[in-house]
Amino acid sequence: MEFLFLIIWGLLAWGVSALAISRGRSGVGFFLLSFLFSPLLGLVVALVMRDLVDENAKANARNRQEESRERLRREEHERQLESIKAIAAPQKADMSRPQASTATSALVADEIRKLGALRAEGLLTDAEFQTQKSVLLASPSSIQTGAPETAETSETKETAPPLDQNGVCPNCFLMIPLLSKECPRCNARPLTKR
């Protein structure tokens, strides 16, 4: 009978060690604990201790989630950098000429105001005004900046090519008012009197 009791005791200790192994603990240590002291004591200790296999699985899952978040964050960061570079690239090219563009736009606005004044005086029709406005807005770089009149500019006035008989300046293609003696933009004189 003692032999049967010893076999049952050993089987219970072996069961506790199997449970300990499934929970990530040392099977030999729990077998010796259970066999030497009590399978019941080994079972209680095995159940009370943390489940290392479950904790490792949870830790691995957390690490995988953190890695995927980090990878997504890096990809998003790279996309944002690329978009910033794409936005900044045209600005770098334009950095050399910001004053020219603002000066040109101011000149275009000034020319449109002058055309509006000529239209208000009745020297330009609405169609002529719209045509000239569209020409100005289409090619603002063709506007010449006004400088104080010197001997050189007065010579230019005299040598400027004559105006077309249709009332369009051959230099700047501006519609010339009917009563005007010269182009308001480039100071070209008309071919014949109108």
pLDDT value of position 75: 92
Contact 104, 143 (CB under 8 A): yes
All structural domains of the chain with their residue ranges: 2-49
pLDDT in tens, 27-47: 999 999 999 999 999 999 999
Mean local confidence (pLDDT), 144-166 = 47
Q: Higher pLDDT residue, 53 or 152? A: 53
* DSSP-derived secondary structure letter, 111: H
What tokens does 156 get? Answer: 């230019």
Give the residue carrying structure tokens 């978009």.
83
What sign has the CA pseudo-torsion 171, 174, 175, 181? negative
Confidence at residue 40, expressed as pLDDT on a 0 to 100 scale = 92
Q: Are 138 and 130 in contact (CB under 8 A)?
A: no
